Structure 1
């Protein structure tokens, strides 16, 4: 999704745990002026690839929509991702394996029905159940009984339709039993797939697909494909992250350049990322002045080698291509210093991050790259696939040019019309070449940079990578209650991933966005999303 230099506040795992409620913060971009609480805000958007169900949205285009539609047990501070209780009254455990969760009373869905513990239990079971084919189903794997509702064999029929590890205690209380002690669970459950679903969803999922019913600060109004997603403030919302405007328009663009022109002209109110042309010579500073919005991002850009393409099963070819990319030059020129070269499979700012874990494979070395190419026996053409929108085309074309110059083979950028179309190709395992595989943290944990991307069957495993030794280490880390010990195991898994190089880290983004003069205040989060509760519309 489902996006660089912040600290994660560790949670004690083996003792009784209770998250304390606290609000988000960070540096606010403000301007003098009175606000209009009934104003309209427009935000840059890309076409979501699928339904706006919380467990089926793992990409940025749909993620920013579902994040405002659905509230979860836990929220994250905007500037560093530190967790705090949102819908949860308390989350307690004496052993980091069995959790008792009590939810706050009086919260409502957008259809007026009350949010109860049953809505969480039913939603998690539905999302995990294999026949429902939810993209983020694997995030429920730590819960006991997941393997019975979601067998490892895609062709196997599930033995049950409900996880044994979920138990309803009362209207506002439920119990979660995990496969083993887990240090990250109380942070993980703030991720969108862990949202509750209204009773009306289970009665008619098709109707909910057309008009999602959430429990978040904004309610769904309408969706015009490739054009607009319209939302309105939910006035009965009980969370501390309520919004201070009336209407939100997610404007869908196929060109980031066009969106930026609209931002500068005041026809668009917020962009969380700017096009390469705006960054050259820091042009955006002249264009936007004090309307520039910055953030510390937790994320990474990478290029995946799909393992179902025979040529990429050769490790020497993968290494050759990675060594042929001049990351330093591309980040300084095409990306105008708004990115820095990446040398690790985990983002800086994440506890457990180590610089240089990619080793020599992420260092520009055309001579060694040529040797490895010759040893691989490969003589054909390579391609890099991505969406053309969102400013992704230019740096990947530069990567292709670097590969051509270093290796003397043809390389071509192949662009899909928009992000939604691109993700359908990736998720359908229909790639014919390398693939852009960027990642923004769903929550601030080293686990979130490894399990979804490199575990067998992971929700965003774009390379279709599978290594039983990596899976075993990740499973052991997942079931380790002590955070420091768990991190050591995750790091061992990362070291094995680096040797296999199923994807190559390329660069890490500095968070630079912008607002229009229509907004007198706005923030951006570690996930590279607008922090909507900080937005204030000029009167």
Structure 2
């Protein structure tokens, strides 16, 4: 039996409901298309990307912030997370399995090459190919022809003509278009495949911004972007470009905003939580965002696998006083976690079976630790929690390790890396000697996005080696569900497996806390905590 035709409008309505946020979505990008853009450059904070800027290879926030600025996908996310067609003219299906994508005419990359069906099909095939080892490859695992184990072609992708292609999924997904604003699904020009790493140093996109010149990425310092004069999409910039500066500390970035040397900061350091709203007034923001924070303990370390590992993970979790830490250190900018997602995502829960393991319970923590010691003594081993010093994490890491130390009577301390890139490198290469700070800023507004990339066996961001057949099975059942409600139920069951295994120790959900200088106006932060840069006016 055929279902009624599913179009982008229906999905957009779904995504608004999914977020559960009050207020209207931003349309400042579309309004700006009739007015001339300012030539003033907006400065903002960022992180040195971990890898070359390739759409299917970048899975961290620093690189993602740049890629979403220089590329345009089939859809874009508005401030509240709802989607609007960008390069796509329509995305439709009769059965939620085979989707027909029609592109708008006239789109080009900044080198003049036309954006066609092939631009998307080739990019997705490159991202999915096993030997290319792309961090976002799992985003294509629902397309017919995908393989985790060998090089295959996505046979589910077929070009009808230059501006039309079809996508056959391995099972129905009614909300599939909701994914398509993520960078992994963006198109690439043909020149990219001549030398993908060199291309990643000077990427050529089709979005609202482009690199100011060849070599505009000054590693460990900044990247300079200017507006793309040929861009006429829904995110038309009203400024002249972006200088994204890579700070080694949030305090330094905050001081630059105070001094008028930085326009927009999207992460206030914890040292300023008590002062920033009073100091910046209506130029300060503190609002919910799709950000989950935790720490992971690698499965390749002694004491953290099998029954002993489960006992120790639960003991560690129950030895942390999340309520006190979020009150004292974060002062209303964090909320203790009750699941593995975010309160702004539809399907979030504060009543999952087994969630009591996330509550502070010193007596139970000591009991479980003793049971683990009966299996294999922990002895004088120091429990370390790694973090990147450029992210403003030291205060909470010290508080968490002190809580663990005071509860369990073991040696526990933080381990500082100079920057995010070096910390992530050790995670990627399985070189950690203890626990590591972890977190997730959603790629698109869905429970699935908080689960599959991090905990599915072999997933691109599953660096610490978790694998569970039960979890994988429930995740797959959820992705094949005919309704959002059925999918949510399966994803919640999958989280109950995580609560037993604790591959990550959930800590809290983050608000986006940001400030902007009096040099700029119209600063709005999106559902994922990233400012809508194209809407910022200056001068």
Q: With structure 2 as the length reference, what TM-score do the two structures score?
A: 0.91
Give, in whole Å, the separation in 1 of the partners of 2:328 and 2:174: 41
Match of 1:396 in 2: 397
Task: Report if aligned partners of 2:56, 2:136 keep a CA contact under 8 Å in 1.
Answer: yes
CA shift for structure 1 position 143: 0.5
Task: Report if aligned partners of 2:288, 2:510 keep a CA contact under 8 Å in 1.
Answer: no
Superposed, 1:141-290 pairs within 5 Å as 141-147=141-147, 150-151=148-149, 157-158=150-151, 160=152, 162-221=153-212, 222-279=216-273, 281=274, 283-290=275-282
Structure number with higher relative contact order (C-alpha < 8 Å, ≥ 6 residues apart): 1
Give, in whole Å, the separation in 2 of the partners of 1:307 and 1:180: 32
CA shift for structure 1 position 463: 3.1
Task: Report if aligned partners of 1:92, 1:101 keep a CA contact under 8 Å in 2.
Answer: yes
CA shift for structure 1 position 260: 0.3
Superposed, 1:490-509 pairs within 5 Å as 490-509=491-510
CA shift for structure 1 position 204: 3.2
Describe the superposition over 1:120-148 as per-residue Cα deviations: whole angstroms up to 9, x where unpaired.
0000000111111111111110001101x
Task: Report if aligned partners of 2:334, 2:508 keep a CA contact under 8 Å in 1.
Answer: yes
CA shift for structure 1 position 287: 2.3
Give, in whole Å, the separation in 2 of the partners of 1:63 and 1:324: 34
Superposed, 1:20-35 pairs within 5 Å as 20=9, 25-26=25-26
Match of 1:370 in 2: 366
Number of equivalences = 509
CA shift for structure 1 position 26: 4.8
CA shift for structure 1 position 249: 0.4
CA shift for structure 1 position 224: 0.9
* SS of aligned partner of 2:391: coil
Give, in whole Å, the separation in 1 of the partners of 2:4 and 2:501: 37
Describe the superposition over 1:208-248 as per-residue Cα deviations: whole angstroms up to 9, x where unpaired.
12210111100013111110111110010021111111121
Match of 1:305 in 2: 297
Task: Report if aligned partners of 1:69, 1:217 keep a CA contact under 8 Å in 2.
Answer: yes
- Aligned-CA RMSD value: 1.9
Give, in whole Å, the separation in 2 of the partners of 1:509 and 1:231: 28
Describe the superposition over 1:95-152 as per-residue Cα deviations: whole angstroms up to 9, x where unpaired.
11111111111011111111111000000000111111111111110001101xx31x
Give, in whole Å, the separation in 2 of the partners of 1:226 and 1:122: 31
Give, in whole Å, the separation in 1 of the partners of 2:367 and 2:116: 62
Task: Report if aligned partners of 1:437, 1:462 keep a CA contact under 8 Å in 2.
Answer: no
CA shift for structure 1 position 14: 4.6
Please list every run of 5 or more consecutive structure 1 residues that lacks an aligned counterpart in the other structure.
1-12, 29-33, 152-156
Q: After the TM superposition, which parts of structure 1 deviate over 4 Å for at least 4 consecutive aligned residues? A: 21-24
Task: Report if aligned partners of 1:19, 1:90 keep a CA contact under 8 Å in 2.
Answer: yes
Please list every run of 5 or more consecutive structure 2 residues that lacks an aligned counterpart in the other structure.
17-23, 29-34
* SS of aligned partner of 1:385: strand
Match of 1:456 in 2: 457
Residues 354 and 14 of structure 1: is their aligned pair in 2 closer, same or farther, counting only changes over 3 Å? Answer: farther
Of residues 290-299 and 187-196 in structure 1, the stretch that sits farther from structure 2 once superposed is 290-299
CA shift for structure 1 position 296: 2.8
Q: With structure 1 as the length reference, what TM-score do the two structures score?
A: 0.91
Match of 1:353 in 2: 348
* SS of aligned partner of 1:299: strand
Give, in whole Å, the separation in 1 of the partners of 2:318 and 2:429: 29
CA shift for structure 1 position 35: 10
Task: Report if aligned partners of 2:119, 2:190 keep a CA contact under 8 Å in 1.
Answer: yes
Residues 218 and 519 of structure 1: is their aligned pair in 2 closer, same or farther, counting only changes over 3 Å? Answer: same
Of residues 250-259 and 13-22 in structure 1, the stretch that sits farther from structure 2 once superposed is 13-22
CA shift for structure 1 position 336: 2.0
